């Protein structure tokens, strides 16, 4: 299950032990490619809150986190950013990035 965030709900949603945020945007082909991979991981991996936010509209969040590429995945532990990665990826690569959040 993926939760759609807004600037208003963002801080509340990332305030959990493990959270990943997919920062996507309008007319973004790479974001469309990442979507099914992200959905699959969200369905498969309990214990992590999978979030998405449309930064074409939520500019505050894009500015706050210095996001200038789409998609950008942000990884949080207890509300603090611990890792990020830009671009689309396959499931294997997404697992690799999630591992950084879980085990580093």
Partner 1 sequence: MMKTKVTKLYDVALIPTPEDIPEWRVDEAAVDGLVKALAVQHAVETQGDAVQTGDTVFCAARGALEDRTVLVYPGRSIPGAEQAEKALLGAGCGDTVKTELAGSPVSLTVQRIVRRTPAPIDDRLVREEKIDGVETVAAYRAYIKEKTQEQNRSLSAKHLSAALHDALVEKSDYQVDEEEQEAWTDKAAKEMLKMYEQEGIDPHIPEDGTDFLTDEEVLAQFKESLRSQYLSLAMSRAFCEQQGVTFGPEEQKLYAENGCTGDEAESGFMESKTWEILYNIAMERLEGTK
Active-site residue numbers? Answer: 28, 31
Task: Choose, by CB under 8 A, the member of 11, 44, 60, 90 that binds partner 1.
Answer: 44
| By CB under 8 A, residue 29 contacts partner 1 | yes
Beta bridge partners of 73: 22, 85
Query: How far is Cα 50 from Cα 40, in angstroms, rounded to an integer?
Result: 11
Quote the longest CA-to-CA distance of the chain: 34
| By CB under 8 A, residue 84 contacts partner 1 | no
CB atoms under 10 Å from CB of 52, counted, come to 22
Q: Is-cis flag, bond preceding 83, omega within 30?
A: no
| By CB under 8 A, residue 48 contacts partner 1 | yes
| By CB under 8 A, residue 66 contacts partner 1 | no
Segment lying near partner 1 (by CB under 8 A), choices 7-15, 44-52, 55-63: 44-52
Residue 81 φ/ψ, nearest 5 degrees: -70, 130
Q: Which residues bind partner 1 (CB under 8 A)?
A: 1, 17-18, 29, 32-33, 36, 39-40, 42-48, 77, 95-96, 98-99, 102-104
């Amino acid at each position: 299950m993926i939760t759609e965030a807004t600037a208003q709900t963002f801080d509340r949603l990332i305030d959990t032990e493990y959270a990943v945020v997919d920062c996507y945007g309008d007319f973004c082909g790479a974001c469309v490619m990442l979507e099914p991979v992200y959905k699959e991981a969200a369905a498969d991996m309990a214990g992590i809150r999978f979030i998405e936010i449309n930064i074409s509209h939520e500019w505050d969040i894009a500015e706050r986190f210095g996001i200038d590429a789409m998609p950008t995945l942000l990884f949080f532990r207890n509300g603090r950013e611990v890792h990020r990665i830009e671009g689309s990826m396959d499931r294997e690569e997404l697992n690799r990035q999630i591992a950084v959040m879980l085990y580093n």
